[in-house]
Structure 1
């Protein structure tokens, strides 16, 4: 239990059995009337954001979310298998929890897995990863109909837009939040 006066960004609240992360909060004390706390909350599982207002000083339930450093080992059927880096315990995580992170994970990738009561909630990747281009069409000199970019498939099977001069086998840096090409890696 915490007071609404103790809210801070990143705190996970348990509201009506649902887990919500505080994205923004603002303590408001109007000229007349009681103070209140205006918050923007993000649902941990679905990612939906809502605005919620609490009276100042009321108690809210907080949830303990344990963020652990883990290593992605392999895919077992539909599940992804992660190993806790501290105690070598293995976790099977479903594809709905991994989500879009699967597009950027290679075996042995270091990630952060958030757990609540031993159940995985979501997978956090580093902001960028290095992937190798496995397929791309040759870039035609003078082809500027697509602003100098072409489609390329990286080793995870994900497709990104890259500059025309890149070829198969080139290692590129990719932003895991947007899937954008960031640069070539030597």
Structure 2
């Protein structure tokens, strides 16, 4: 068992059987009363963020989370197959674990997979990816009913809003956190 003195950003705590990632922490020593540690925690699975306060010296349970680079290979039914880039082992991660990241996964793309005791917890994508537009309606000049944007489908099947001048075959940069259009990419 560790104590609150071992809390650092990025450490994963096991609280009531759930894994929580420490986003922020602050050791506080008020003028009156005992010292304490104020933390902001993010649930590894659900993404929920909570604030939790511990008395200084309290016992906590730190989990070992292994983050390694994997290469996305292909989709297999309800799972996604990834290959460890260091030892070439392949793992299948269920679509519930991959979540919305599936909208931005391209074959041979490198991602970071976090595992705990051999179980995949989540995958981290790069902040942005380059995707090709596979379908969009032609933009009509003068159509400003929707702030100069139109729906477009990218090669992964994800649908997003793009400016009117973007056409089929255009490569665009997409923010993987929000799914927003960031700009065109010239080859």
What is the TM-score with the length of structure 2 in the denominator? 0.97
Q: Alignment length, in residue pairs?
A: 186
Q: Deviations over 1:140-162 (max 9, x none)?
A: 00111111111100000001111
Distance 1:137 1:143 in 2: 12
User: 2:147 is matched with which residue?
Assistant: 147
Structure 2 equivalent of residue 32 of structure 1: 32
Deviation of 1:45 (Å): 0.7
- Aligned to 1:30, the other structure's residue is in SS state coil
Task: State the Cα deviation string for residues 53-94 of structure 1 (Å, max 9, x = none).
Answer: 100112211111000100010011110000000000000100
- Looking at structure 1, the residues matched to 71 and 152 of structure 2 have their Cα atoms a distance apart, in angstroms, of 26
Classify the secondary structure of the residue corresponding to 1:112: strand
Q: How far apart in 2 are the matches of 1:108 and 1:139?
A: 32
Cross-structure match for 2:170: 170
Unpaired runs of 5+ residues, structure 2, are: none
What RMSD in Å do the two structures reach over aligned CA positions? 0.9
Q: What's 2:47 paired with? A: 47
How far apart, CA to CA, are the structure 2 residues paired with 1:152 and 1:111? Answer: 25
Q: Deviations over 1:76-124 (max 9, x none)?
A: 1110000000000000100110000000001111101001001100010
What TM-score results when the alignment is normalised by the length of structure 1?
Answer: 0.97
Which consecutive segments of 4 or more residues in structure 1 shift more than 4 A?
Answer: none
Structure 2 Cα separation of the partners of residues 114 and 39 of structure 1: 21
Deviation at 1:27, TM superposition (A): 1.2
